[in-house]
Amino acid sequence: MVIQDAQIGQINFEQVKKRQRAKSFIKGMLFLLPSIILFSIFLFYPLGRTIYLSFFLTNAAGETTVFIGWQNYVNLFTSPIFMQSMKSTFLFVLYTVPFTIIISLFLAMIANEKLKGIGFFRTVYSSTMGISVAAASVFWLYLFHPSIGLLNMILETLGIDGIGWLTDPDWALFAVSITTIWMNIGFTFLILLGGLQSIDSYLYESADIDGAGYFYKVRRITIPMLSPTLFFVVTVTIINAFQTFGQIDILTQGGPVNSTNLVVYSIYREAFVNYKFGSASAQAVLLFIIILIMTFLQFKFGERKVHYQ
């Protein structure tokens, strides 16, 4: 009888635990429900719809007409225009990401010094965060103007022929990259400055006592301690570079000769100019896969060099 009572008590205890777990799960799901609904509407459904459309031909209203399977993807990889778009996108990422991080890190290290009036320079360096993509693009549009642009005026003053910054295929992607670097510096600078200010000062004090020089401290203290912030900045900057659209639309519209026709702009043009939503969806899926792979590689190999405090 004692054994039976103990077994019954154990069963009742397990049932109570199961009920508590079920109640906790229901409560947790209720708290998550608003987020799940928002993600489902604005993320999961569009993603699923895009993948679905990539296997069809569509009419001008975006309605599916003919199922063609993988043909949209095959057409992309046999299209010289799309392959040029992929090449331009990777070149754009190569131009913008390293220079954005290097310049922002240099400015952040300067702004981290305890100097009189340094707050003014911190405000100036981060001011590009408050400028919209449209306003910044119009500003650079005037700077790049072939006849009245400030850049060509400076070149002509130096006795150098003016450059078709946005009209020459050899210079257009470089010009857009300069614009993007300038626009992204504010955010990157602010994040890196926050990372620098979170480094414990006693590390530098100990290095000063040992007689370490400035560059030794940068190499052995600043960069290792800043590595988590750098890892975040590199990952976000790469993703943003692959998703660049606004400045392309305002400055070049993908030209000249498709030299600045980045993948995101190609998706826009294919969907809302040519009304080929199936092909545009296939490009969007490929871009998603590329960003996913780049992010995975960044976490796989880049995080190994991160030193968490």
Q: Mind listing the pLDDT tens digit for each residue in 180-203?
A: 999 999 999 999 999 888 888 888
- State how far the alpha carbon of 13 is from the alpha carbons of 7, 18, 24, 26, 252, in Å: 10, 9, 16, 20, 70
Supply the pTM of this predicted model: 0.87
Q: Give percent of the chain with pLDDT exceeding 70.
A: 94
Q: Per DSSP, what are the bridge partners of residue 58?
A: 64
Tokens of 247: 């400045």
Write out pLDDT tens, residues 59-110: 887 788 889 889 999 999 999 999 999 999 999 999 999 999 999 999 999 9
265: confidence class by pLDDT, cuts 50, 70, 90: very high
Tokens of 307: 């030193």
Q: Which amino acid makes up residue 89?
A: T
Residue 240 has pLDDT above 90, yes or no: yes
Write out pLDDT tens, residues 133-184: 999 999 999 999 888 888 989 988 888 888 889 999 999 999 999 999 999 9
Higher pLDDT, 193 or 18: 193
The DSSP element (H or E) to which 57 belongs, if any, is strand 56-58
| Phi, psi for 69 (deg, rounded to 5) | 65, -130
DSSP reduced 3-state for 123: helix
The C-alpha atoms of residue 230 and residue 232 are separated, in whole angstroms, by: 5
